[in-house]
Amino acid sequence: MQRLPQHTKEFSRQLRVEMTDAESYLWQRLRMKQLGAKFRRQHPAGKYILDFACIDAALAIEIDGGQHAEIQTEDNLRSEWLKDNGWEVLRFWNNEVLQNIEGVLEVILQSILNAKVREILPPP
């Protein structure tokens, strides 16, 4: 396992302390295996820090605020890199999390279940 640079660890810790309202709201529903899987918050993956990660399901969850409409190209590159490295990426807008948490959780749960099925079934 590759060691993380100290500045990445520190930045990741800082992001955990300074979570947005939407990230904090979602974290309250993901923590302690409430969906049957363990999640980490502000988890480093390559040169990126994921908002939430479920290692067992190789699932990355990104919560985007209004600023992400302006940096869509960067977000697309990030998503491509994650997919190329075995991650499934789910993106939600802040308002989706804050106004439709049950719908967001349903999408996340379905991704976890699909990952478990892929783990059991042999490739075609």
CA-closest candidate to residue 61, choices 72, 69, 53, 71: 53
CB 55 within 8 A of CB 38: yes
Q: What is the pLDDT of residue 1?
A: 47
Q: What is the pLDDT of residue 57?
A: 96
Residue the block writes with tokens 């302006």: 70
Q: Going residue by residue through the chain (124 aa), what tens digit of pLDDT does each one get?
A: 456 566 555 655 666 567 899 999 999 999 999 999 999 999 999 889 999 999 999 999 999 986 645 567 888 999 999 999 999 999 999 999 999 999 999 999 999 999 988 888 767 7
Q: What is the pLDDT of residue 14?
A: 62
How much is the pTM? Answer: 0.84
Q: Residue 72 half-sphere exposure, CB side, CA atoms within 13 Å? A: 4
Q: What is the pLDDT of residue 8?
A: 59
Q: How far is residue 62 CA from its own chain's centroid?
A: 5
How far is 124 from 121, CA to CA, in rounded Å?
9
Structural domains of the chain, ranges and CATH numbers in brackets: 6-120 (3.40.960.10)
